[in-house]
Amino acid sequence: MAMPFSTLFLASGNPHKIEELTDLLAPFSLELRSTKDLSDPHEVEEDQPTLEGNALKKARFWFDATGIPALADDTGLEVHSLDGAPGVYSARYAGENVTYQDNVDKLLRELKGKTDRRARFRTVLALVTADGEYTWEGVCDGVITEHPAGGGGFGYDPVFRPDGYEETFAELSSAEKNRISHRGRALQAFAADLEQWSESHQPEKKEDQGTPGTSGTS
Ligand code: IMP
């Protein structure tokens, strides 16, 4: 498949995410670079009030720094009975410099005794190139389980059970998680636009239309 670019910079310092993104982008034969390849990887502060703001901030920074089209994502876990928390603050729900376990423990404490355990993961992917800025969204609906289960994945995976499954994300294979996950769906939307792009139909630019592609919003 012909691509509008042959090298893509993955603007993430999280090795789990780089691994997932690398798996998901494998069919596209793109040369992938990331902060892992840099001797002094700068950490872009995620201080924007929205997922979209953070994703665009990271992608802009790395496109400006490298000149390579840069893809960044930001993800939040939005819990219905907590009014959408932890949302954009998912990484530091239990405080600064906390572990995934600390965040999971806090979430289970906050939900203790609550019967409505509906939640969703939402990812915004942002691509910044010399031609413009684009965003895509992916959503995965599910519930927060009473107890952690499974040893795979990362973050809140042990307590997130996607709708239609008996297992948590941490119990699913990475291939299965990638197929249905928020990030997987956002990437599938990105991939669909890449295909269109390769046929010279550029997706609408963010400045004109807002989010050009939305996936998995059920
Ligand atoms: P990020 O902004 O994409 O790094 O995600 C923020 C936080 O959301 C991470 O620190 C994780 O705790 C959580 N998170 C993001 N993606 C996932 C996922 O696929 N599974 C579980 N937790 C995730």
Give the start-to-end residue ranges of the domains of the chain.
7-215
Mean pLDDT rounded to a whole number for the chain: 88
pLDDT digits (tens, 9 = 90+) for 101-140: 999 999 999 999 999 999 999 999 999 999 899 999 999 9
Helices 182-198 and 15-25 meet at what angle, rounded to 10? 40
Catalytic residue among 74, 141, 157, 193: 74
Q: How far is the CA of 11 from the centre of ligand 1 (A)?
A: 15
Q: Are 74 and 44 in contact (CB under 8 A)?
A: no
pTM metric for this prediction = 0.86
Q: How far is the CA of 14 from the centre of ligand 1 (A)?
A: 10
Which mutation among 50, 93, 156 tests ligand 1's pocket best, with the greatest number of atoms within 8 A of CB? 156
Question: Is the pLDDT confidence value at 52 over 60?
Answer: yes
Length of the chain: 218
Question: Is the pLDDT confidence value at 93 over 90?
Answer: yes
Q: How far is the CA of 89 from the centre of ligand 1 (A)?
A: 10
CATH 3.90.950.10 fits domain 7-215: yes
Question: Is the pLDDT confidence value at 91 over 70?
Answer: yes
Q: For residue 79, give the nearest of 160, 149, 148, 138 by alpha carbon.
A: 160
What token pair was written down for 62?
Answer: 């790395």
Ligand 1 atom with the shortest distance to the CA of 157: 21
Q: Are 90 and 161 in contact (CB under 8 A)?
A: no
